[in-house]
């Protein structure tokens, strides 16, 4: 935990370690603890009781450079306090940009808030979630083409929801089809095991099996639509809540069961799409900044 280094908190005891400093990783070790305590306070929970509760589950998400720090250091600190240790650690490879590591010194870096000024945050969040892969695959690559694809993908979903709202006349009260029920269980298993890439693939499959993209026949199934919006909620909370409350009323919340409120006939949607196309000027600037300069360097 200490070393012969000029920076950091200097140790005055014990005598053999006098003059050494604590590793910066150790100094930052307790940030997780203060974060947990703040979250408990926000939820009106007692942090000590919560951290000792056998039902409490801690899950850590981190980039690959933090994997030793969190899996060893944080777990050791939790054990020392008598707290629950993490149920799982979700480790991700570094994102790449156009096939290369992010580098601020080479100006080969693009920040999420920078993109969000030009691109709808729903599109950006979905695009980033879509390129996450299991640790060690080294496939987490971001590029503008993936961003355009994400926008197009979400637009298909929104167009389907809007055509139901615009043309639906009769409420289909049939139970959830068995294939959709099976997909929902697979989705729940994937989320439980932190396999978010698999969960997003299952959402696509659910959309296809439900056949939402078909031309509306004038009927809509409240359970199927409510469940679809619940599946996308972890990645697209704004889209899920906005459409869920439009179809089912202000009391709607994501759920794997029947909608908590009675569904009538949804009125025509009167709010803008959340999956606007990526602006052409953003694509031009991106290509100038990363692709053309990279081509000249070669």
Q: What pLDDT, on the 0 to 100 scale, is given for residue 160?
A: 92
- Per cent of the chain over pLDDT 90 is 45
State pLDDT tens for residues 237-269. Answer: 999 999 999 998 889 999 887 776 677 777 888
Give yes or no for residue 298 having a pLDDT over 60.
no
Task: List the structure tokens of 141.
Answer: 């690559």
CATH superfamily of 94-298: Isoleucyl-tRNA Synthetase; Domain 1 (1.10.730.10)
DSSP codes of every residue in 24-35: HHHHGGGHHHHH
CB 179 within 8 A of CB 207: no
Structure pTM?
0.81
Angle, in degrees to the nearest 10, between helices 237-248 and 144-167? 0
Q: Which helix (H) or strand (E) holds 100?
A: strand 100-101
Task: List the structure tokens of 156.
Answer: 């298909």
Ranges 169-173, 184-188, 213-217, most confident: 184-188
Q: What pLDDT, on the 0 to 100 scale, is given for residue 293?
A: 65
CA-CA distance, 58 to 75, in Å (whole number)?
10
Domain with CATH 1.10.730.10 in the chain: 94-298
State pLDDT tens for residues 79-123. Answer: 888 888 888 878 888 889 988 888 888 889 999 999 999 999 999
């Amino acid at each position: 935990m200490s070393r012969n280094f000029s920076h950091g908190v200097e140790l005055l005891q014990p005598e053999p370690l006098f003059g050494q400093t604590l590793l910066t990783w150790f100094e930052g070790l307790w940030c997780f603890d203060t974060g947990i305590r703040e979250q408990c306070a926000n939820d009106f929970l007692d942090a000590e009781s919560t951290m000792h509760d056998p039902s409490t589950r801690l899950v850590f998400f981190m980039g690959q450079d933090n994997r030793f720090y969190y899996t060893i250091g944080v777990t050791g600190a939790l054990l020392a306090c008598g707290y629950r240790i993490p149920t799982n650690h979700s480790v991700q490879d570094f994102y790449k940009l156009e096939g290369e590591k992010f580098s601020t010194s080479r100006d080969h870096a693009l920040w999420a808030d920078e993109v969000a000024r030009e691109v709808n945050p729903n599109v950006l969040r979905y695009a980033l979630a879509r390129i996450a892969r299991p640790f060690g695959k080294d496939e987490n690559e971001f590029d503008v083409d993936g961003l355009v694809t994400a926008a197009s993908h979400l637009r298909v979903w929104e167009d389907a929801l809007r055509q139901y709202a615009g043309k639906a006349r009769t409420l289909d009260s049939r139970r959830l089809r068995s294939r959709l029920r099976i997909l929902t269980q697979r989705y729940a298993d994937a989320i439980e095991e932190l396999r978010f890439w698999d969960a997003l693939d299952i959402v696509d499959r659910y959309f296809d099996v439900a056949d939402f993209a078909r031309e509306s026949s004038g009927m809509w199934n409240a359970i199927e639509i409510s469940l679809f919006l619940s599946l996308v909620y972890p990645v697209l909370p704004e889209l899920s809540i906005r459409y869920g409350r439009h179809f089912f009323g202000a009391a709607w919340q994501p759920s794997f069961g029947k909608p908590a409120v009675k569904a009538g006939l949804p009125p025509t949607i009167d709010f803008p799409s959340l999956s606007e196309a990526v602006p052409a000027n953003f694509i031009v600037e991106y290509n100038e900044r990363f692709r053309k300069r990279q081509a000249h360097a070669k």
